Structure formats: structure tokens, C-alpha cells
Structure 1
Amino acid sequence: MSTLLIQNARTINERNQLIPTDVYIKEGKIQSIGQNLAKLGLSAEKIIDVQGGLLTPGLVDVHVHFREPGFTHKETIKTGSLAAARGGYTTVCAMPNLDPVPDTVENWQAIEDIIQKDAVVNVLQYATITKGLRSEELVDYQALKEAGVFAVTNDGVGVQTAGTMYLAMKEAARVGLPIVAHTEDESLLFGGCMHHGKKSEALGLPGIISATESSQIARDLLLAEETGAHYHVCHVSTKESVRIIREAKQAGINVTCEVCPHHLILSDEDIPSDNAIYKMNPPLRALDDQAALIEGLLDGTIDCIATDHAPHTDEEKAVSMTEAPFGIVGSETAFSLMYTHFVKTGRFTLKQVVDWMTIRPANIFGLSCGTLDIGSPADLAIYQLDKEIEINADEFESKSFNTPFIGEKVLAETLYTLVNGKIVWSKEG
């Protein structure tokens, strides 16, 4: 489809006002933005009347797990990208805890080839910080950067030795690659499966102390200051982490970070029993941690919202929290949950949430997405804001539906997702 006119949408402006908007798309790019564009004589091969739906830039998620290659019983690049599209995401960044691991140009390129063939949204594949995700030998950052890698991470395990992280940051800074850190000191885990606190004690489950995360962030922030590397912290979850990142930003250290919707919405007190659907890494923390995350978003300490979409099968989650894998899915529910829990309750503005899920994550890594501008690729999402729906596993595009939000009633249902002006997902099918 070379020309497309979206009519009767609404967009959010800088003053958090919803304004009537039409968008005219030609050859995959935004050509015109305004009101009543049809009256200007713009003809289109296809017209979509969205009847007051909210139109945003396509959402940007810097943290997803698509499980391919190696774990396609949980998710594939095709199903993961469809799940992202159903949530309104048009650009996502896929983590490298795969098999084989993308720790060489050859392995990374093999995944890129699948992405080009199967993905319905823009998928950027991370490479690893070290070979085999072990905290020992660095990968060839120069070669990976030249191949097209945008950032490196050992998400899922983290870098356990300070010396390795120092050398990684030094080399990453030299070639201009951000270091994206899953921060978890494994020597402080003690077999934990949920947050250490009164609830873990009440359930008789081993707890994960907050310092497991925050102590490694503190280490890495000083190494980032020493090396000048761009250091991005994944899924911040504790009040201590927020505090030290805030102080590091004030000190001029080049640090950015993300938070997940589930850590903003839930706390460990919401875990009803030994139920592995609530097992995620980092775990659901205490109420004061939850409050600190919200404050961190509002004061700019936390830069953006990312889902950490982490699919697992029913069988894998149908065991005790002590045995099950960590992780929940999030691509298909993130915007609806944020709108329902925070915009409709007046805690965040719609403009803030849209920015935290579009332009802010794009800016962290210098990505050319997340905006609604003439001449930009027509990567767009359209939502019906005020019709209540129920989160239903049967409607998921993901292979997995391991999330505690199944059955919850929410607002802001996705109507359409467009990538380069092409409808890649619609509620109509």
C-alpha cells in the first residue's frame, strides 16, 4: 500500500491535551499531519477511520526475550514480534541469552537473518559483553560494532567480576557501544526466589536481598565513571538502586536505566502463595521500593519503561517458585496496564507515559524511532482508550502467557500497529 490516510485520530501534545489529528502516509513515511486532511485534496488508496482512537509513535521496548535460537518452545522471533505489535510496539531490542549465544559476528548475523525473514516489527538484536555469557573473555566489540550491533549485554546473568566489567567498559567506550547491565551479584543470591522480606518469610520461601542488585550497580557506576562508558541498567527494582543512580547522574556519570510495569504496579505483598507466575528477576520488591521507582520516573532518575518480556511454558511455571524459571511476559499488556494504573488514576500524565515508552528509550541508544514527525517512518500505534477489556490469554500472540495480569480488566486496547506505513497488527485481524 503506497498511500494511507488515518482519519479522526487524537494525539497528545506537549500540554497533555488530546487534539484531533489525521496522518497521511506515502511510501511508508509520514507525509502530512493535521486536521481534516481529506479536505486538502489528499487522496489515499486506503483510509482508516479510527473514530477518536489515540495515535502515538510506535512504542519502543529496549528489553525483550524472543528465545530464538535455542528455546523456540517458549517464543520465536515471529511470535515475539507479533506480541510486540499487538501491544503497540514497533521497535524492540532482543536479549542475547540464546543458544548459540550471539557472541560472534557469525552468530549475531544468523539471528539477524531470521529477524529479516520473520519479524513483523523492527527488532534490534543485542550482542553479548563476554563470550558464552561467562564473566571471563570479552567479545570482539569492534567487529560487532562494524557488523551493526547497537549495544552489548549479558542480560540474564550479569558480569560477576569487576575486572571483566572494567575491561568491557573500557573497550565499549573506545568503540562507542553502550554496556547494558543485568545487575545481580550471584554471591548474594543464597538460593532466593522472591524478595527477602516479611512475605517471603510468611510463605517459607528463600528471599533475594536488595543488595544483590544495588551493590553491583554501585560497583559498575564507579567503573563507568573511571572509563567514560555509557552504562545502562536493566529493570531497576530497589530504592537503593534508584538512590545511587540518582547520585551518579548528579555526579555526571553517563548512566541511564529502565523500569518494568510489573515493578511499578505490584509488590511482594501481592504474591498470594508459592505461585511461580509471580517469579521474576529482579523480584517484586517491597512497597517502599515500589514508591521509589515511581518517584524515580517522575524526577528523571529512571529514563524509560521496558517490559522484560520473558516467555516460559505452562509446564515450566507449574512448579514451586524455588524451581521455576524467572520471568513474565509483558509486550501485549504494558501500555494498557500503565494507562489503567497510572494515567486513569492521575499519578502520571498520558504524555509522560507515552514519552517513557517511545522517545525516551529511543534517545538512550540514539535510535531513529519513537517520534511522530513528517518525513519519519510511519511506525505508529492506535489505541481505543476508554473501552474496558479483560486480559485474556487466549488472545495472546505470544506462545506463552506467564503473567499475573491474566483476567485483569484494563483500558487502552490496541486497534492498529503500523511499521513503515504497513498494518502489521490490527484488532480486526
Structure 2
Amino acid sequence: MLGLRQNLAQFLLLVAVNALVGGTLGQERTVLPLLASQTFHLGLYTSALTYILAFGLSKAAMNYFAGTLSDRYGRKPVLVAGWLVAIPIPLMLIFGPTWAWIVAANVLLGTSQGLTWSTTVIMKMDLVGPRQRGLAMGLNEAAGYLGVAVTALATGYLASAYGLRPAPFLLGAAYIALGLGLSVLRVRETHHHARAEASQHVNAHDQAHAGLTTKEIFTLTSFKDRSLSSVSQAGMVNNLNDGLAWGLFPVLFAGAGLSLHQIGILAAVYPAVWGAGQLFTGAASDRWGRKWFITAGMLVQAVGLAVVAGGDTFAIWLVAAVLLGLGTAMVYPTLLAAIGDVAHPTWRARSVGIYRLWRDGGFAVGALLSGLIADLYGIPAAIGAVAALTALSGLVVALRMRGNDHTTT
């Protein structure tokens, strides 16, 4: 049966699993930019951001394959495979003698995140059905990014107390072991729920598109469908600015004389507000619709980035981190729910994977764009440019996305 109440135990288990997925990513948020500059002495921002480029490209590719593989082989095998890929990552981050090892670890991290996070999204959509999709995505993304935030804060403390290596990455190793164990022993397959929903679909537009090939789904999601393509570009720009925040914010803060503890707080506040906010924004978009939540969220993000670019104190940057987290909370679950609204259940997993391909490709674009601008003109200029791009993305959604692609309106 479809519905949150009917599948509550399995849903909550998947929420916990995604918190561990987020924690595995969060082990890097505070420490790795400082590791690049202080341990490996990488001077150019573009060089230091190679790990985000590697992460973004591998995660984007795996997002695409995760949807296709989960349709073909089931959701659970893909989830377990993602955890297996993650096993070597903490060891490579701890013992890597050169920067190439760190980049290679981030290829594995992106691969793992693409398989695990994509699959938890798809499985929750399978379980809840159409009417609570925004709530489901809000809970999923809240768990993941609160996991990022708590771990970023914890690793900042561990790094200040015990050094940049190995202590912060031991936490990631524990998350991977627990996530793998839960996924193997407790998580159940959900693909049959999607088939049940597909059998109940009566929307004429969806039925006309029920038998699309993967190539046709890619074209529809990326370019042809006004709503799906609007969501895809907004997701890409959202993660473009997140890649900027991940790679350059700690360097900017350290250059301004902030302590490692203060940098850890700022690195945690942004995903913490982002994570907690999604507990409310996902469900609110179920009630009020997706389009204007996405537009407003992109504009709030742009304001937050502009405040970072113009700021020079911990207090100002703390306000900016809250704004950036709030804007992202408005956007993140709503984008995923919007994909679920439009895509037919028989190819929803593939459409989610294609959307996440574009979205997480934003990490790679953000690493290259912000690194090049920072090398040429400084970090504030890079942040200002991305702020303008984020505002433009919000306007594209306002002008292009249909306003009636919402299951409960």
C-alpha cells in the first residue's frame, strides 16, 4: 500500500540511512579545504577545488545510472552497492600521501553518494505516493543535510583538538559501517510500490508518456518539458553555489583570521538551516505548489551569497549562512517533488536520476567557474558572480516553469 502512515517504519529507517549518507559527505566539509592549503600547500584555488570537480562529475554520472539500475535490478542492490564503494574513502583521506589520493577518494565519494542518496530519494517516493511527496522529500533531504551539518561541526572540533588527520575521518568510517549494515539487514525493496502506483495512474498526459525510452526521458527532463527542464537548470545552479560554498568559504574565512572552531560553526550553520528548514518547506510545497517556492528560494540564496561576498566578520557571515541555508531549504526538496509530480511512475526513477545528473554536475561547474574567477579576481568576486547566476536561475523558473504541475492542486 502507498502512503507514509502505511509504510512508516521502513520510511523512518530510510531517513536514518540518509542521515548517515549525509554524514559521510559531511566529514569533508570543514577539513578538506584546509587540508588542501595547509597539508598539501596548494596555492591556486582552481587546483585546490579539483576534489570538488572529481566529486561532482562522478556523483552526477552515478545519479544517472542509479535511476536506470534501480529500475532494472531493484532499489536495494543499488543502495548496498553505494555503501560498498564508500568503504575505502576514510582510509584514503587519512593515509593519502599526495593530493591525487584525495581526488581519487572523492571520485569514490561521488560514486557512493550518487548511488546511495539517489536510491533513498527514489525509495521514499515509491513508499509515500503522490499526495505527500513534498513532505517525503523534505524529510529525506533534512536528514541528509542535518547529517552533513552535525558532522561538519564535529569534524571541526576534532580537527582543532587532534589535527586535520586522522581523527575527523574516523567518524566517516563509522557512518559507512553502520549504513552498510542497516541497508543489508533492515532495508526492504520498494520497486513494487512504484509499479502499484503506475497501475493506478489515470492522467492522460502521463499515460501518453508512459512508454518512453531512456533517451526520450533524458531529452524531456533536460530540455523539452518546460517544468522538468526548469527544475534541472535550477538544481544545477543550486549545487554550483553549494560547490562554491564547500570549496572557497573555509579559505575565505581562514584568510580573514577566523579560528578553526569558528570556521566549523559557519560550515555547519548553512547545512543545518538547510536541513532543518526542509522539515517544513517540503510539506508546505505540497499545499501551496512548487514554482514560487523554487523561485523565491533561488533569490534568497542569491542574497545570502551577496552578503558573504561583501562581509568581513564572523557575525555577518553567520547571517549570510542562515540566509543561504534558508533559500536552499526552500528549493531542495521542492525540486525533487516537482520531478515526481511530472514524471510517470514507470520512468520516475530515471527522470530523478537525470535531474540529479544535472544538479550534481553543478558541483563540477561550480568548482571550475568559482576557482577560475577566484584565481583571477579574488574569492569575493567569484562569490558575487555566482550570486548573480543564482538570481538569474530563479527568474528562469518564474518565466518558464508551468504553475499547475502539482498533484494536490
TM over 0.5: no
- Larger CA Rg, structure 1 vs 2: 1
Higher helix share: 2
TM-score, L = length of structure 2: 0.27
Higher strand share: 1
TM-score, L = length of structure 1: 0.26
